[in-house]
């Protein structure tokens, strides 16, 4: 029965945040009253897209999301509303519904704090006071896990992680060492190959056809000389075979 009371108080003062700042905000309120929560959510989101720091739209968006059984997501809208809230009534309503979210998540420590803040902004609200008392009762019956055990477990896990990190580092170092050795071997081989290429380049290289340029020039000159000698002989024979005319032919 007490749990039922908690969640029946979620939207105890929706109208307190309903300020007609744009057409989408009142449309969202109408859809919410008609229990069309998805439509209301859409209008509130459009309203927020136009004015980011709008506590009314953020708060109402949280309510519409909560009504769709998405308490965890609604929590962020209430926190957003608290960031931009400018007066105590707005803060009171946001903290109250934020406490309801934490109660549903069974996060009683945070629920106690949320209801406490709600009462700080409105000490006269009996609903927040009742929920605050109930949250403290639930926290007492369901205390948080033993921090010592958690710390001991965390310490043990940290040690495992450190040991594993050391092993991984050692493996990485060995891999790097092997890589360096391979690189050195490859570097030495490359040096040998480069030295071999350089030695080949330093050796006298044969000319095309196996004949040097100087020798080729000498051969051409010799051939030209032989051709000239032959031509001279031919010319000399022509001169000897021609008859000599000693007088005129009348």
Q: pLDDT (tens digit, 9 = 90+) per residue, 97-148?
A: 999 999 999 999 999 999 999 999 999 999 999 999 999 999 999 998 765 5
Say how far apart CA 141 and CA 145 lie, in whole Å: 12
Residue 91 forms part of a structural domain: yes
SS3 211: coil
Give the pLDDT confidence score for residue 206 in this predicted structure.
Answer: 41
Phi, psi of 147 (to 5 degrees): -65, -35
115 within domain boundaries? yes
**Is 6 within a domain?**
yes
- Residue 26: give its domain's CATH number: 1.25.40.10
Q: Which pLDDT band holds residue 220 (cuts at 50, 70, 90)? A: confident
In the prediction, which pLDDT does 164 show? Answer: 75
Q: 51 is in which domain, residue-wise?
A: 2-141
Q: Domain count of the chain?
A: 1
In tens, the pLDDT along 55-85 reads 899 999 999 999 999 899 999 999 999 998 9
The answer to whether position 56 is within a domain reads yes
Distance of alpha carbon 51 from alpha carbon 66, whole angstroms: 22
Q: Which residue has the tokens 């360096």?
A: 180
42 part of a folded domain: yes
Is 237 contained in some domain?
Answer: no
Q: Is residue 36 part of a domain?
A: yes
Q: Looking at the domain assignment, is residue 148 inside a domain? A: no
Looking at residue 144, its pLDDT comes to: 87
Nearest Cα residue to 139 out of 102, 94, 96: 102
Query: How large a percentage of the chain has pLDDT more than 70?
Result: 58
């Amino acid at each position: 029965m007490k749990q039922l009371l908690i969640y029946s108080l979620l939207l105890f003062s929706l109208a307190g945040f309903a300020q007609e700042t744009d057409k989408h905000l009142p449309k969202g309120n109408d859809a919410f009253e008609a229990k069309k929560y998805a439509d209301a959510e859409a209008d509130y989101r459009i309203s927020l897209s136009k004015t980011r720091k709008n506590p009314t739209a953020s708060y109402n968006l949280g309510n519409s999301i909560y009504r769709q059984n998405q308490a965890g997501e609604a929590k962020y809208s209430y926190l957003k509303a608290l960031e931009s809230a400018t007066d105590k009534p707005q803060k009171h309503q946001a903290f109250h519904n934020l406490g309801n979210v934490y109660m549903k998540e069974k996060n009683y420590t945070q629920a106690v704090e949320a209801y406490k803040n709600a009462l700080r902004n409105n000490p006269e609200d009996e609903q927040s006071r009742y929920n605050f008392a109930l949250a403290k009762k639930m926290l007492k019956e369901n205390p948080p896990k033993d921090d010592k055990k958690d710390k001991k477990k965390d310490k043990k896990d940290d040690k495992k992680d450190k040991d594993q990190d050391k092993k991984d580092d050692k493996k990485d170092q060995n891999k790097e060492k092997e890589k360096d050795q391979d690189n050195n071997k490859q570097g030495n081989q490359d040096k040998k190959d480069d030295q071999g290429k350089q030695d080949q380049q330093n050796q006298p290289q044969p000319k095309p056809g196996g004949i040097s340029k100087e020798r080729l020039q000498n051969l051409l000159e010799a051939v030209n000389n032989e051709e000239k000698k032959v031509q001279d002989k031919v010319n000399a024979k022509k001169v000897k075979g021609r008859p000599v005319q000693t007088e005129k032919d009348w």
